[in-house]
Amino acid sequence: MRNKLTKNLNQLLLAIGTIILALLVGAVIISFSGNSPIEAYLSMFNGAFGSKQRFMEVLVKMIPLVIMALGTSVAFKANLWNIGADGQFIMGSIFAIFVTIYSGLPPIIGIPVSIIAAMIGGGLWAGLAGWIKVKFNANEVITTLMLNYIAVYFLSFLVYGPMMDPGGSKMPQTKLIPDAFRLPLFESGNRLHIGIFISLIIVVIMIFFWKSTLGFKIALLGQGEKVTTYSGVSVKKMIVFTMIISGLLSGIAGWTEIYGVQYRLLEGITSGYGSMAIVIALMGGLNPVGILISGFFFSALLVGGATMQRMTDIPFSIVDIVQGLIIIFIIARTAINFKEIKNRIVRRMEHVK
C-alpha cells in the first residue's frame, strides 16, 4: 500500500517535472523568437481558463483526447505501438454515422447501435493491424500509420462523393444527424456535452479493467512474448485482441466527437488528436487516472494555445514546441532509466555503510 502510494506520487512528480522542464526550455525558444515567454504563457493560461466559455471548451476537447489516450494506453501497455488512433477514430465515426443516416432506426435503438458501430469500426481497423502483425510479422508502427492514411482518404472519398450533403453546396461534409441523436448540451453558449460523463465512466472502467484477468494478460504481453507463452496464453490471439480493444476505444472517441460536437462527418475531423493522445498516454504513465490528468493538461494547452494565437501575435507553434519537448523528455526518461541509476546509488550507499 505504502509502496504504491510513493510510486504514484513519484510518477506524478516526474510528470510535473517533465512539464516544468518543457515549459522552461520552451520559454528559452520563445524568447529567441522575439516574443515574451511570460506573456505567452500568461495568455495561454488565460486562454484556457480566462472565461467560463474557454474552460468549457477545454473540457470539450478533453473528451475525445482522454478516450483516445486510454485506447492508446491499452496497446502501449502490451508493448504494441499502436499509433493509428486517428484512423481508428475516423473508422469509428464513419461506421457510426453510416448506421445513423442510412438505417432509419429510432433514437432509442439507433443511439446504442451507433456506439456499437463506432466500436466495431475502430476495433476492426486496429484489429486489422494486429492481424497483419501476427500473420506476416509486419511492424504495427508502420501498419497503423499506413492505415491512418487509408482511413483519411476513405473519409475524403465519402464526404466528397457518395455521402456528401446534397444541400451543402459541395462542402466536403455529410448532412447533419437528426436532433434526437445529438448528445445533450449542458447549456447554450458553449459546447460542453454529456460525453464528458462517458469519458469519466470509461476512465473508471479502465481502472477496473487493469485489475481484471484480461487486463493482467495484456500487461503480461508487455513483459515479453516468452513470459506470455510460459503462462499459457496464446500470444497471437492476445495481440489481435489487445489491438481490437485499443481501437474500439478510439472508435468511441470518434463517436463522442460526431454526436456531441460536429453532428456530421467532415474532412479533417481528427485534427491531429491521435498524436496528442500518444503524448497524453505516455505522460499519464499509461495509468487511467494519470491519463485523465494529463488529458486535462493537454486540452488546456490546446485551447489556451488557440486562444493565445487569436488574441496576441504569438504563433500557435509554441504549443507544438512545448508538446514536442514533452515527448523528447519522456523518451529521454525511459531511455536513461532512472531506476537503474537510483539502484546503483542505493547499492553504493549500502556498501559505504
Partner 1 sequence: MKKLLLVLMIMLMALSFTVACDGDNGGSSSDKLKVALILPGKKDDLSFNQSMYEGMMNYLDANEDKMELKVTENVYEVSDIEPALLDFADQGYDVIIGHGFQFMEPLVKVAKQYPDTHFVLGTGYKFEKNSAIYDVSLDDGGYQMGVIAGLATQTNKVGVIGGADVSEIYRGHEGFKLGAKSVNPNIQIQEVYTGDWNDTAGAKEAAVGMYDSGVDVIWHSGDGIGLGVVQAAKEKDKYVLGNVADQLKLAEKNVLSGVVYQWKAVLENIFDDIDSGEFLKLADEERFYWITAENEGLNYSKINDSKGWLTSDDLTKIESSWKDLKAGKIDFSVIKEPTK
Chain positions contacting partner 1, by CB under 8 A: 1, 4-5, 8-9, 12, 46, 48-55, 57, 160, 166, 169-171, 173, 188-191, 207, 261-262, 266-269, 271, 289-290, 292-293, 296, 300, 303, 306-307, 309-311, 316
Phi, psi of 56 (to 5 degrees): -60, -40
Q: Which is nearer to partner 1, 123 or 285 (CB)?
A: 285
* 3-state DSSP assignment of residue 210: coil
Q: Which is nearer to partner 1, 59 or 129 (CB)?
A: 59
Q: Which is nearer to partner 1, 178 or 268 (CB)?
A: 268
Q: Which is nearer to partner 1, 128 or 277 (CB)?
A: 277
* 3-state DSSP assignment of residue 72: helix
Q: Which is nearer to partner 1, 124 or 302 (CB)?
A: 302
For residue 2, the minimal CB distance to partner 1 (Å) is 9
For residue 302, the minimal CB distance to partner 1 (Å) is 10
- Quote the CA–CA distance of 228 and 145 in Å, as a whole number: 26
- One-letter amino acid identity for 292? L
For residue 242, the minimal CB distance to partner 1 (Å) is 23
Q: Which is nearer to partner 1, 221 or 253 (CB)?
A: 253
- Quote the CA–CA distance of 215 and 75 in Å, as a whole number: 11
For residue 281, the minimal CB distance to partner 1 (Å) is 16
Task: Please count the CA atoms within 13 angstroms of the CA of 176 that sit on its side-chain side.
Answer: 10
Q: Which is nearer to partner 1, 2 or 348 (CB)?
A: 2
Give 66's contacts (C-beta < 8 A, 6+ positions apart).
Answer: 199, 202, 203, 280, 291, 292, 295, 296
Of the candidates 278, 251, 25, 11, which has an alpha carbon nearest to the alpha carbon of residue 141?
Answer: 278
Phi, psi of 185 (to 5 degrees): -90, 155
For residue 158, the minimal CB distance to partner 1 (Å) is 15
* 3-state DSSP assignment of residue 185: strand
For residue 173, the minimal CB distance to partner 1 (Å) is 8
Alpha helices in the chain (DSSP H): 2-32, 37-49, 52-77, 85-103, 107-136, 140-160, 195-209, 213-222, 225-230, 235-257, 273-283, 288-311, 317-336, 338-352
* 3-state DSSP assignment of residue 211: coil
For residue 282, the minimal CB distance to partner 1 (Å) is 17
Task: Please count the CA atoms within 13 angstroms of the CA of 44 that sit on its side-chain side.
Answer: 24
Q: Which is nearer to partner 1, 143 or 173 (CB)?
A: 173
Q: Beta-carbon neighbour count of residue 343 at 10 Å?
A: 11
* Residue 100 contacts residue 181 (beta carbons within 8 Å): yes
For residue 179, the minimal CB distance to partner 1 (Å) is 13
Q: What grid cell was written down for 301?
A: 494547452
- Quote the CA–CA distance of 22 and 69 in Å, as a whole number: 20
Q: Which is nearer to partner 1, 51 or 231 (CB)?
A: 51
For residue 1, the minimal CB distance to partner 1 (Å) is 7
